[in-house]
């Protein structure tokens, strides 16, 4: 499906500079005020569940996963997801999401949350959540807060403050 020079890899520290460049290019400096970024600032992402795509050794796309708790449920916040303009619309973004979801499920995550466009994420299994049931440190459009749940958890039943798993109450 993908060109043989394109590989998907688990993220490590050697990818950090390229990932910063990819996210700066995709989202600009305003990205740090988004409420999902405020959750990500509360603690580190989980590299074991975060992935990059590399084309001939150059990192050209990234997805990160941050461990979060919401109410009684423990899972992950997906993002940022970004693909370099040179490599858009080749299915790389979707594949990174699929890989991250599979890894999270295998790791025992109960839900993967994100704030994103439903038309892009619904075919990947993301479902609407109950508007107003979950909060984050900052405003966001509740119609864009989507979830994939595992092990009998219901997206519409998720409620509480979304916070990093390391954050003390
Ligand atoms: C969104 C993004 C990650 C998609 O990555 P990608 O590798 O180009 O996406 P894929 O190849 O998997 O899918 C492409 C398809 O998704 C569609 N798509 C892209 N962004 C979309 C969006 N926001 N809403 C609906 N559809 C979208 C494209 O039109 C394309 O449709 P096609 O297959 O009919 O041509 C990439 O465009 C990107 O980095 N954008 C800037 C950062 C961003 O917005 N990240 C997502 C934050 S929620």
Average pLDDT of adjacent 10-residue blocks, the chain of 169 residues: 92 98 91 86 97 98 98 97 98 98 98 98 98 95 97 96 89
The protein residue with its alpha carbon nearest to ligand 1, atom 31, reads 89
The tokens 């461990």 sit on which residue? 67
Phi, psi dihedral angles at 111 (to 5 degrees): -160, 150
User: How far is it, in rounded angstroms, from Cα 48 to Cα 7?
Assistant: 16
Contact 165, 43 (CB under 8 A): yes
Contact 21, 43 (CB under 8 A): no
* 47 CA → ligand 1 middle, Å: 23
**Residue 138, number of CB atoms within 10 A of its CB:** 12
Per-residue pLDDT at 31: 75
Q: How far is CA 86 from the centre of its chain?
A: 21
Contacts for 47 with CB less than 8 Å, ≥ 6 apart? 10, 11, 12, 13
Contacts for 115 with CB less than 8 Å, ≥ 6 apart? 34, 35, 36, 79, 140, 141, 144, 145, 146
Ligand 1 mutation pick, 89, 98, 118, 146, max ligand atoms within 8 A of CB: 89
Which domains are assigned to the chain?
A: 6-164 (3.40.630.30)
The protein residue with its alpha carbon nearest to ligand 1, atom 17, reads 120
Which residues contact ligand 1 via a Cβ below 6 A? Answer: 26, 81-83, 88-94, 116-117, 119-120
For the chain, how many residues are written? 169
Question: Taking the model in full, what pTM does it have?
Answer: 0.96
Per-residue pLDDT at 34: 85
The protein residue with its alpha carbon nearest to ligand 1, atom 33, reads 89
């Amino acid at each position: 499906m993908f060109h043989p020079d394109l590989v998907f890899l688990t993220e490590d520290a050697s990818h950090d500079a390229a990932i910063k460049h990819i996210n700066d290019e995709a989202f600009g400096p305003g990205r740090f005020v988004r409420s999902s970024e405020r959750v990500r600032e509360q603690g580190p992402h989980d590299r074991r569940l975060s992935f990059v795509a590399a084309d001939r050794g150059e990192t050209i796309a990234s997805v990160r996963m941050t461990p979060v708790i919401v109410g009684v449920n423990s899972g992950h916040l997906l993002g940022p997801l970004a693909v370099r303009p040179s490599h858009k619309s080749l299915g790389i973004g979707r594949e990174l999401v699929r890989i991250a979801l599979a890894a999270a499920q295998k790791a025992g995550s109960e839900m993967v949350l994100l704030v994103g466009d439903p038309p892009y994420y619904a075919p990947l299994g993301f479902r609407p959540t109950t508007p107003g049931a979950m909060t984050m440190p900052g405003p966001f459009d509740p119609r864009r807060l989507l979830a994939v749940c595992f092990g009998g958890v219901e997206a519409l039943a998720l409620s509480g403050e979304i916070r990093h798993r390391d954050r003390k109450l």
